Every structure is written in structure tokens, then in C-alpha cells.
Structure 1
Amino acid sequence: MLQKLRDKTTGWIASLILGLLIIPFAFVGVNEYMTGGTAGDVAVVEAPPTWWESAPQWWPVSMLWQREEVTTDEFRATFEQVRQQQRQAQGEAFDPREFESVENKRRVLEQLIDQKVLALASTRAGIRIGDAAVQKAISSEPAFQVDGKFSPEQYQLLLSSQVPPISPLKFQEEQRDRLRMLLIPQAIGDSDFFTDGEQERMWKLLGETRDVGLALLPAPPEDSAPVDDADIKAWYDGHKDDFKQDESVALEYIEINGNTLPTDAPVDEAALRKRYEDEKSRFVSPEQRVVAHILIAADAGADAATLKAAEEKAAALAQQARAGADFAALARANSEDPGSRDEGGELPPFAKDGSMVKPFEDAAFAMQAGEISGPVKSDFGYHVLQLREIRPGTGRSFEEVRGELAAEQAGNERERAYNDLAGRVVNETLKNPTELAPAAQAVGLPLQTVGPFPRNAPLGIAANPAVLRAAFSETLVQDGTISDPIEIAPNHSVVIRVTQHAPEQAQPLEKVRDAVVVAIRADRREKAAEAAADAVVARLDKGEALSAIAAAENLRFNDLPGMRRGIPMPTAEANEAIFAAQRPAEGKAIAGKVSLGDGNYIVFAVNKVTEGDMTAMPAEERVMMQQQLAQMSGGIASQAYVDAMRKRFKVNVFEERL
């Protein structure tokens, strides 16, 4: 039978049939691969080629589409950066579990997608960023400056201190991509403007003032009228949540603090010297060179005639410079590098570390101070170089930094001791996950206790938000198991176990009767205060003057002409209510009330509204305001550009990979 099957599946007819079946399966598979992203992507931004905007997305045409991917690693790194920023900003209030929400992850992903949209848009627009622009951006970064000037040592230190360390070449390429990505939206934002008419209309509202009268109504006296049983029962039944007994827990715990652990290990001189050599960039800065250049731009793919003309022009300029012509003047008149032309061609100092394109860097480090070199060909065209200064490498010797390295080694030893102890604690708790005393005895640490306490009044270590969250977590409360180590600070953690738990529960009326009476009387007093304020407002609505009412009722009265919007006077809430009131008709007033809390009320009367007058504003303030409004409008326009690009591109999101 097998032989018959073999005979039937050979020959040109069978081969043709098999070939026809393979083709659609191959196309479907390749198309899925080309359009579905890879397993390492959480989002893909795609666009058809600029010369074929209507190109379909099926294979093999889809191979022509341009793409930018948000990889899983990129997303995780960015999400971790945002996590650290939030942790620093919120301090102990930071909640790691809440931060891990889908909404937060999607928010970070949307920002990355916007960046990829901008990157793809800049690629399609043919934008390129030269070395000089990158160097200028880096040298102007305040983080790399000391006393207002670019510091190579600070630059190297900050890059090497990143986790993981970043090489200068990689950082410069990241900056090049960033500048390329931001060029269009920044240009849109910078080109936006606010007309005088728009500014005047805006100021009429923002600069508006109101003439206001204010009367302070004192709080009513404390309510001492009797409260009958029916009222008490009715209030209790309607406000049971106000009289609940809070959930509470008691804990036992082991504290592991690396800062208290001894470090008796002797200093290893060989290890210190090896670390010094491995991390020499922290202590020693390489030789740098200060170069001025003249760029005659020529694309690497230009025709031979264009390249020859650019080379000849560069050679002529080099000859003029060697003959004594002012190099800076030649650069300002002829260089096609916008980043350095106005500076006479001078670039920020650079080391031989790949931060400049190789032909340029090789030529610069082969020159003597004052020498003219060129033409030097790069991907950007032809350069004429002048070496203006050689800055020798500087740094600290091993002997100078030995104490610092020894302290770091001691810290590392202490950290190792902490990790070892924490690991032993975990191993012991795994042996008996519902009893903490055996683990404490095995590792020689004291078993401590705290509580009981409610969530809103934690005690001792439970004041740490992470510990508090774990103490009231469903797992520890219901199972009675030991927690994982909870970090309190670097090299400082605790493991806890809930030993006692009392759930939130309604307290019987008999226990909270006095509190209910207090609440009823406070409510009566608040209603009396509001009724008194409403009575004054009603009299104002009938035409009485607030000053007359205040005099008759012996109320504190203030007349505040020209009150400005946004001033917290008498309170922020009162100012907001006053400016939310309608504009009064001529000769009339608009009345309202604002609670100040604890039974105190302010009754106000808006007598007059005066629009903001632009002509009364000093010229400097007008210019500043117009700049601020233009900046705000420019930001809106830049975001509108990003939104428009997103609509033109195809965005695939793989949310299950977040």
C-alpha cells in the first residue's frame, strides 16, 4: 500500500498540486510574521512608504512598510524609571501594587508609542542630526556642567554611574535620536504665537476684578437641646458606617538590618587595585581635544561631481587657513554646520571614545596644537580642522581614592552579610510558614511584637506603608502565614506574621450612643448656621444692602473693591464662589454664601465687575504673558501634531505582553 501511495504522489501533476498548496500557506505565514510584531514587542507603529501612501499591508508589499517597535525590554526599563520617579516623589505614600495597575502601564506605553510615532515621522521627513548639534546639546545639559561650564569629568561620572553604565558613544546616539524625534514638534511649538487680540480677550477674563462686600456670620451657639431616643435611633440607622469599629491586627516580626551587622573582613588590597583599574573612568578623565571645523556638506550618496566640488572647496579653505586667514571668520562665512558655524566652528571638547565619526576623530588626534588639517571626508561631507587645544587627561591616583574604595568594599561586605542573613531567614520560614519563632531562634534575631492597631493608626514598624499594606493583606490575615521580606530601606527589611485580627464591624448603639448625640447636635448647629446665611442672602435678593444688614445685626463687614481672581481671600473656596457668581446688573448686587467650617459662614455681595485692562499692564508683563500664552498654545499644537501622525499611522498594541 505504501508503494502505491508513493507512486500516486510522484510526477509533475502531484508536484504542481503541492506547490500550489504551499504558496498560500507561505504567504499567510510571512504576512503574519511581518505585520503581527515579534514576541519581544508590546507595540508596533507602521506606515506605508512615502512614495506609495496607499500601499497594502499584505506580503510581499508589507516589506516596504516602515516600522518602529516598542520592545518589551524598552517598556520595562521605562516603566521602572517612572516607578523610581513616583517612589521619590511620593515617599512613604508610594504604593507599589497600585502603581502596577493596567492603567499605569497603558499610560507609560502611550508615551512610548508617541515617541515612536515621532521617530517614524522624522524618518519619513528625512531629518538628520549632525555631530555638532549632538555635542552642543550634551555640553549645554546642566547635569554635565560645573560652575556653568561643561565638565568632561562630570559627564563621564554620570554616564558610568547609570545602571547599567552607558558608554559615551551609546549616549550620543540616544541624544541624536532624541533630537531627531523632537525637531518637528519643537519647531511647531516654537513657531506658535498669540495675537494681541487673543491676549486682550484672555486678559479681560484673567485680569477681571470684582467689588465685593463680605459679612462674617458667627457660628451659632453649641446645641444643648435634648435628643430623644427616636432621633438617636434614626440617625444611627442612617449613619452606621460612621460608627464602625475599624479593622485591627497584631503582628510578630523579625527585623533584618544590614546597617547593624558587623564587617570584620580585612581589606583586600589586590581587589581594591583591580576595582580601581576596572572603574578608572570614575577617577580619571581621558585626554580631550578642542577642535574648530568648517563643514562643506555633501551626502555620502551624492554623485562624483558633487563630491569633487565639495572637496575642492574644502581644500581651498584649508589652504587659506594655512596661509594665515582667520579660521573663525572662514567658518562663519563658509561652514554648513549650523551648530558650530556661529561659534567660529568650535566644537565642545571630546575624547577619543567614538563620540565623533571615526575619520574626524582620527584626524583630530593625529594633529598638533594650532595645526590645520583637511579636507577630511565623513558621511556629512568634507571637514577642514583646526586643533585649538589639547587637554591632557586628569584624575586621582589609587592612593588618593583608596579610602573611598575601601569604604565601598566594606559596604559591599555588609550588603553580602545582609543578603546572607535575609536568605537564611527566608529558608527558615519556608520550613515552618505559620510560625515565626523557630526562624528567629535559628538565625539568632529577636522575635518582636506590635499591636493590636487599626489601619488608620499604625504602630512601630507598621507605620511603614509597605508593612501596613502587608499586615492588612488578605493572604496574611486569612492564612496566618509569614510574609516575604518587606523592604523598609536599602539593606533593611522585616518579615511579619499576623497573630491577631479583628474585622471591621458595626458597634452596637449602646456603645456609641454618646457619639450619635454629638453628631446630631453638630448637624443641628450646621443647619442653623446655613439657615442664618440663607436668611441674609434672601434679604440681599430683596434689595437690602449688605453693609446695612451687617450694621443692624452687629456682623463683621468688609468692603473689598478690586478683588482679583485666584487670590485666596478670604479663602480659596470663597474667592472661587465669588468669581463663579453671575455678573450683576447695573445698580444691583449678586449675593451668595460660603461655609468656612465649624458653623461659620461668609455672605458676599458682588456689586461690580471690571474686566482686565491690557493697556494698564506694564510692557514687560505684557511681553512675558504673551510668551507664556504662546508657549502653552505651542504645546497644544505640538501634541496636535503627534495626534495627527498617530491617525495617519497604524498602531498595533499587544496589551497581554505588558
Structure 2
Amino acid sequence: MFDTIRHHKKYLMGFLMILIIPSFVLFGIEGYSRFNEGGDAVATVDGHKIKKVEWDQAHQQESQRLRQAMPQLDAKLLDSDEARYATLERLVRQRVLAAAAADLHLYTSDTRLARDLQQNEAIASLRKADGSLDVEVYRQLLARQGLTPEGFEASVRADLSQRQVIQGLLASGFATGELANVSLNAFFERREARVALFNSGDFASRVNPSDAEIEAYYNANTAQFQAPEQVDVEYLVLDAAALEKTIALNEADVRAYYEQNAARLAGEEERRASHILLNVAPSASAADKAAVRQKADALLAELRKDPKRFAALAKANSQDPGSAERGGDLDFFGRGAMVKPFEDAVYSLKKGQISDVVESDFGFHIIQLTDIKSPPKRSFDEVRAQLEADLKKQQAQRQFAEAADVFSNTVYEQADSLQAAADRLKLKVQTAQGLQRQGLAGTVLANERLLAAIFSPESVSSKRNTEAVETGASQLTAARVVKHSPAHTLALADVRETVRAKLIAQRATELAKAEGEKQLQAGKSGGEVAGLGPALTLSRATPQNQLAGVLNAALSADPKQLPAWIGVNLPDRGYAVVKVEKVLPAEARPAAQVAREVQQYNQWWASAEGQAYYELLKARHKAVIKVAKPVAPAAGEVR
């Protein structure tokens, strides 16, 4: 909501990795039992260990999911220590929430589970022409992930139960407008400051290293001049998306599918109803409930005699404040909008009919169906493109399921070449040269599991096919190393210019820092500071093109000790001297913008309350991470 967030991406990245990336993986870990063999414990929850092998697999699955969702994502981000630690934190969070859900007796009903599975796109794509689930393909799809339908559904049920632990708190958290405005005004507070920037590039001409100095730098920093390990590979991809493009449909099949799905394609029928509600508290005694039921039966008897009095009796008797004044009218709604007993009754009535007394969690209802809105049937030509796309996807999924076993078995049984599998399934063997461990972004060769298989000692030494690895949704890949080049230090003669450039950059940065510190002392002593620019009004909303370290230094200065002189070390850039002269209040903003900011602040507040509650749960369930948290590099060292 705030434009300034764009200028603070580096600081927010770790926060986003934890809060935004979903913890639930579609084809996740079936259970914890398979990880009980060996491995060091990297964390514990309630005394139960999370072992390194489990952490590795969880990170591998999360990385694979993210690469599929964002093919252009830099693989280095996922391979970093920070990303791996974030995976471990999510794994611990999952265990803590599971323990809390068990303590609170939170449970996901079969109805809630079924609704979630119906909304799953991967499962929806497995439906046959008549709308029923292709159970065999469903089982095969899960089996390739090492799962059974029962295990997968249990993991989904557990995930839904765990979400309930904190969701209620997040939905109810809010902060008062006064508190929000105090924080927001501080956030948008401005500083008037002057900046002197000493760029390392301006000092480069003063550095002229000798051959001996270049050689000494090279010898002391050989790790910077490594040729990375590389392989040339052949690889073969079996992809449902590619199969889909080869499918030719029969006209009769498309028309049959249209007739079977005409109602679904038209959209959902909506119904309009009115009701009279007599509330009953869940904790009411049997006698109290019977008394309310008796009153409902009496009202129903009156309505049976004169249905035209429904609106009048609803106004006089209904305890639903939202509809009573409208004669009980609930307007149009579709399936899933009402509690099940109410919905079942509405969809069993004909227009104008009045139901028997219906009991729900809210009490007793008397319902009248007042209107039915059926969507118009769409013509075959209107929906033909959608029908063909659905049918092709379904057939491609079936073909993929049938070919997957052939693919996996052939690359394993004839491991000296991928050509046999390619010939059998009419696929093309592809090649890549100079592949490194970070992979090739935007391709299957960015998949972490596939890269691990390619660079495994066995694949490198034997030049045999890897196993078939799932590199995407309905996508299998196998590869074979053709040539391997181990990592090695490049000769000085080959990298002399690079070494010289690095040495010059290092020395120039040191000179820039020395000059900046000299000018900082001059400023603190009341002298002139060379290069001090004009006064700028800085804020998080208007950074005036200043570097993040400079902006943070200016906004962090103690307002009680002005003017303030601050030195900022800018790694690889040089040094900055900042003189903060005034503190200015936040600029006036339109009322609509302030309202949006307060709304955003409330979301932050709710997230903070949720995090605080989670920290309480961590302590309650004795959650301990035994791995040191990586230290992120500082954006700018302030003095």
C-alpha cells in the first residue's frame, strides 16, 4: 500500500519469505515417520526431533514449488542459507501449529475437506468427461510423490486444522485509529539533511598496483577466482502440457462432453428465499430448545393456513436482524453460501413452497422459496474452445499417467542412454553445455532435485541416466552427464585483469572511506565539509534518490541532538557524511489515503498479534531450533 515499500525490498525479503510464501505444499510430506532413520536433529518441538534429512527434503520441495510458480526466480535466492533457514522455521511452525491444534481439539470435517479438494486445480484436471474423478490417474499422480490418497488427504486435513489455530486471531485483530496515526505519523516523519558522498570510483585513478601486489592479492583470495564445476548433459522431458498440444479431438466426443456439462458451463443456479429464524443458543437445555421448537411449529401452522402472511410474521417474529425488517428476505444466493441444513431445504423446495421447521446451528428456521434464477444455457459454439481445452487437458493427463511408468522404467533399465526412452515415447533428447550447480533459470534444469541427481557422485562418475525426477506438475525429467569438469582455480595469467580490477576497487573504497572519515571529523569540529550538498527533505515516502544506508542514517538520528553528524560506510560504494539539521512533521495526506494506511496498519497489527501468539505457542511446546540463524549482510554501517 505504501510506495516506500518498493525502496526497502532488501529489508522486507526475509519477512516476506516467512509470511507470504505458503507453508502448505500440494504434494507435501506424507508423514514424519519416514524421517525417523538417522540424521542429526536440527530442531525439536515438544521433545520430538526434526532431522536434517527432513529439513533437506522440505526445502527441496519448497524450492521446486517456487521454481514452478516463478520460473524467472533467481536460483541463488533459493539456495542461500537465509532461504534454507526460512524453510526450517516454516517446518517448526508447522509442527507447533499441529501440536496446538491437537491441544485445542481442532478438527476438519469431511465436508470442509471435500470442499477444499474440489477447489484444487490439480485434482479438478483429473475429472473425466462425465465429471467424475478418474480415481486411477489420481492414485498414480500421488504415487509418483510417494503418497497414497489416504495419506495425501490426511495431510490436507491436518493443514486445514492447523490454519484454524491462528486464523481467528488474525481476523479479529485491530488497532485504534489514534494508535495507528501515532505510528504512521512517526513512519512518515521527515528530516532536513545535507549529504556528502565519497564514491570509491572517484578514487580509482589514484590506485596503480604493482605486479607483486596483484600476485599477492591473487594468492590471498584464490577462492574468488574459481572456475565452477560444470557438466555437459543430455536430458529428456515427459510433459503433459506438451502432450496436450498433440491431441486431436473427435467432434462427437466434444459434443457429448457439451451435453454432459451444459449445466455446469452455464453457471450455478441461484435461489431467493425468505425465512423466519428463532434463535437457540448451542448451550440451551433440552427444555428450552423444545419450547422454541414449539413456537416455530405454531408459526408454521399459521403459515400453512395463510402463506401470504409470511412477510408480516417474519417482521414480527424473526430473530435475524439482517432480514427481519425485509420480511425475512435473504435475496439471491448460490450453493455454499448458507449452512448445509438450510441450503438442503432451500434446494428441495419448489417456487412458492414453505418448508417444514429446519434446525441449524443458529436455531429453527421456516423457509419460503420465493424465486429461482437459472442461468441461460450457453450454445455449443460459445463454449467450444473451453470444452476442447478441458478435454485435451484430461486426455493429456491420462496419457501422461500411462507414459510415466514407461518413462521411469526405461531410463532406469537402459541407463546408458536416454535414446531408448525417447524412441519409445516419441520424445526428443535435449542437450545443455556448461551446466553449473545453480542450474539454468526458466528451464527444467533449474529444478533442485534434478540438479542434485545430475551432480551426484554416481551420475558424474558412471555417466548413467538419473532417475526420473518430477520437475513440474505432470512433468518428469531424466538426465545423463556426458562430460564433467571439476571446479579449479583459474591461472593468474587468465584472470590478471579481473584481479587488478578487484584490487583497485578495494583500495579505492578504502581511500573513499578515509577521506569521508576525515571530513566527518571536520564537520563535528565545526569546520567545512568538502562536497556537502544542499539541504534535502528526506522521508521514507520521498527518499530523494538517496542510498538506503544514507536514508536510514538520516531518519535514525536523535531529534534531541541536532544538528547531528553521521558517517555511513557504504560497502563497495564508498562513504557518506550526513548532516541532519531539522525534524519536520509528516506531510498532510488525503483522507482516503490516510484511511488506506490505517487499514494497512491494522493488517500489520493483526499480523504482529498473530506472531506474538505463535511465539507463545513456541514456548508452550518447547520449540527449539538448533541451527544458527544466518547473519544477513548489512546495507550500510553507520557511525
1:571 aligns with 2:547: yes
Contact 2:464 2:480 in 1 (8 A): yes
1:520 aligns with 2:492: no
User: Greater shift after overlay, 219-228 or 568-577?
Assistant: 219-228
Aligned mates of 2:357, 2:610 — CA distance in 1: 40
What secondary structure is seen at the aligned counterpart in 2 of 1:633? helix
Aligned mates of 2:577, 2:623 — CA distance in 1: 57
What residue is the counterpart of 1:383 in the other structure?
A: 365
1:590 aligns with 2:565: yes
What residue is the counterpart of 2:485 in the other structure?
A: 502
Instruction: State the TM-score, normalized to the length of structure 1.
Output: 0.62
The structure 2 residue matched to 1:633, chosen from 591, 605, 630, is: 605
Aligned mates of 1:492, 1:453 — CA distance in 2: 21
1:603 aligns with 2:577: yes
* CA RMSD across the alignment: 5.5
Contact 2:64 2:471 in 1 (8 A): no
- Listed one character per residue, the Cα deviations across residues 186-223 of structure 1 (whole Å, up to 9, x for unaligned) are 6752xx54374x45653563243222112344643544
Distance 1:573 1:257, change over 3 A: same
Task: Name the aligned partner's letter for residue 210 of structure 1.
Answer: R
Contact 2:271 2:334 in 1 (8 A): yes
What secondary structure is seen at the aligned counterpart in 2 of 1:212? strand
- Listed one character per residue, the Cα deviations across residues 565-619 of structure 1 (whole Å, up to 9, x for unaligned) are 4643322222012223444635x442424538555x4432112334x479x6776
Task: Name the aligned partner's letter for residue 206 of structure 1.
Answer: F
What secondary structure is seen at the aligned counterpart in 2 of 1:385? strand
Task: After TM superposition, list the pairs within 5 Å mapping 1:113-512 onto structure 2.
Answer: 113=99, 120=106, 161=124, 185=169, 188-189=172-173, 192-194=174-176, 196=178, 198=179, 202=183, 205-217=186-198, 219-223=201-205, 226-256=208-238, 259=242, 267=250, 269=252, 275=257, 282-283=264-265, 288-298=270-280, 302-304=285-287, 307-308=290-291, 310-312=293-295, 315-316=298-299, 319=302, 327=310, 330-331=313-314, 334-337=317-320, 340-341=323-324, 344-347=327-330, 349=332, 357-358=340-341, 361-362=344-345, 365-369=348-352, 375-376=357-358, 380-392=362-374, 394-396=376-378, 404-406=386-388, 408-414=390-396, 423-437=405-419, 440=422, 447-455=429-437, 458=440, 464-465=446-447, 468=451, 470-486=453-469, 494-512=477-495
Aligned mates of 1:332, 1:383 — CA distance in 2: 14
Contact 1:360 1:378 in 2 (8 A): no
Q: Which runs of 5+ in 2 are unaligned?
A: 1-29, 34-57, 134-152, 625-639
Aligned mates of 1:452, 1:613 — CA distance in 2: 54
The structure 2 residue matched to 1:91, chosen from 65, 71, 75, is: 71
Distance 1:160 1:416, change over 3 A: closer
What residue is the counterpart of 1:58 in the other structure?
A: none
User: Greater shift after overlay, 475-484 or 94-103?
Assistant: 94-103
Aligned mates of 1:617, 1:511 — CA distance in 2: 58
Contact 2:72 2:441 in 1 (8 A): no
- Listed one character per residue, the Cα deviations across residues 339-380 of structure 1 (whole Å, up to 9, x for unaligned) are 6556653336467999755587447744542x5555555675
- Listed one character per residue, the Cα deviations across residues 70-96 of structure 1 (whole Å, up to 9, x for unaligned) are xxxxxxxx9999889745654354879
- Listed one character per residue, the Cα deviations across residues 117-165 of structure 1 (whole Å, up to 9, x for unaligned) are 6664x99xxxxxxx9xx9xxx9xxxx9xxxxxxxxxxx99999948789
- Listed one character per residue, the Cα deviations across residues 426-470 of structure 1 (whole Å, up to 9, x for unaligned) are 444333313345555666655554323545685996764455554
Distance 1:400 1:81, change over 3 A: farther
What secondary structure is seen at the aligned counterpart in 1 of 2:535? strand
Aligned mates of 1:275, 1:377 — CA distance in 2: 39
1:532 aligns with 2:506: no
What secondary structure is seen at the aligned counterpart in 2 of 1:568? coil
Aligned mates of 1:380, 1:646 — CA distance in 2: 35
The structure 2 residue matched to 1:557, chosen from 516, 529, 533, is: 533
Task: Name the aligned partner's letter for residue 517 of structure 1.
Answer: R
- Listed one character per residue, the Cα deviations across residues 38-68 of structure 1 (whole Å, up to 9, x for unaligned) are xx9879xxxxxxxxxxxxxxxxxxxxxxxxx
Contact 1:483 1:497 in 2 (8 A): yes
What secondary structure is seen at the aligned counterpart in 2 of 1:290? strand
Q: How many residues align?
A: 530
Aligned mates of 2:347, 2:406 — CA distance in 1: 57
Aligned mates of 2:396, 2:596 — CA distance in 1: 55
Distance 1:199 1:315, change over 3 A: same
Contact 2:231 2:435 in 1 (8 A): yes
Distance 1:324 1:183, change over 3 A: farther
Aligned mates of 1:256, 1:363 — CA distance in 2: 48
Task: Name the aligned partner's letter for residue 633 of structure 1.
Answer: W
What secondary structure is seen at the aligned counterpart in 1 of 2:534? strand
Distance 1:116 1:346, change over 3 A: farther
Aligned mates of 1:591, 1:556 — CA distance in 2: 13
- Listed one character per residue, the Cα deviations across residues 286-319 of structure 1 (whole Å, up to 9, x for unaligned) are 7553111011124697445752455336634874
The structure 2 residue matched to 1:106, chosen from 92, 117, 127, is: 92
Distance 1:462 1:498, change over 3 A: farther
Aligned mates of 1:182, 1:314 — CA distance in 2: 41
Contact 1:541 1:591 in 2 (8 A): no
| Shift, 1:251, TM fit | 1.5
Percentage identity across paired residues of the two chains: 25
| Shift, 1:482, TM fit | 0.6
Distance 1:304 1:160, change over 3 A: farther
Aligned mates of 1:462, 1:634 — CA distance in 2: 39
Contact 2:97 2:162 in 1 (8 A): no
Aligned mates of 1:85, 1:216 — CA distance in 2: 43
Contact 1:273 1:398 in 2 (8 A): yes
- Listed one character per residue, the Cα deviations across residues 389-420 of structure 1 (whole Å, up to 9, x for unaligned) are 13346544778756654554455555555566
What secondary structure is seen at the aligned counterpart in 2 of 1:220? helix
Structure ID, larger Rg: 1
What secondary structure is seen at the aligned counterpart in 1 of 2:367? strand
Aligned mates of 1:82, 1:344 — CA distance in 2: 53
What secondary structure is seen at the aligned counterpart in 2 of 1:558? coil
Aligned mates of 2:259, 2:59 — CA distance in 1: 34
Contact 2:244 2:396 in 1 (8 A): yes
Instruction: State the TM-score, normalized to the length of structure 2.
Output: 0.64
Contact 1:296 1:336 in 2 (8 A): yes
Aligned mates of 1:652, 1:542 — CA distance in 2: 52
Aligned mates of 2:124, 2:326 — CA distance in 1: 32
| Shift, 1:485, TM fit | 3.6
Task: Name the aligned partner's letter for residue 608 of structure 1.
Answer: K
What residue is the counterpart of 2:52 in the other structure?
A: none
Task: Name the aligned partner's letter for residue 273 of structure 2.
Answer: V
Distance 1:200 1:380, change over 3 A: closer
